[in-house]
Structures are given as structure tokens and as C-alpha cells.
Amino acid sequence: MSEIVKHRGFIGLIAPEDGGYVIRIMDISDHVTTNCSSLMAAQSAFEDLVDDYLETLVALAKGEE
């Protein structure tokens, strides 16, 4: 069973996989995922994933890597 999480206007899908959970940012052209070991940690992991994704987009726009 999948769960939905939200952060900064992004929607995430949490799905069970191999005894843990895979979290994916939905509705973007990039494939961005992370893993966590418990459903309780999923919201925090998704927030970190979104924040890292946004920082990467800003860095790419500035020509940084």
C-alpha cells in the first residue's frame, strides 16, 4: 500500500520495497528517489529529498555542479 506525502508544493509517493520504503517525487521530469527504513521516517526523508532537489536545481541554474 502506498502513502502520499507533501512538502513545499511537491507530492511524494511512499511505497514499500524490500523491507523498507522507497520515496519518489511525483510529477517532475526527473527521476528522484530516496529510501528509508520506516514509515515514521518517511515524511522527514521526503522533506530532505525535496530540499536537496531544489538546491540542485538552483546550483544547475547558476552553472555549478
Each residue's pLDDT tens digit, 26-38: 999 999 999 999 9
Region 46-62: mean pLDDT is 96
Per-residue pLDDT for 65 more than 90?
no
Mind listing the pLDDT tens digit for each residue in 39-52?
Answer: 999 999 999 999 99
Work out the angle at residue 12's Cα, subtended by the Cα atoms of residues 57 and 14, and round it to the nearest 5 degrees.
130
Strand partners, 12: 5, 25
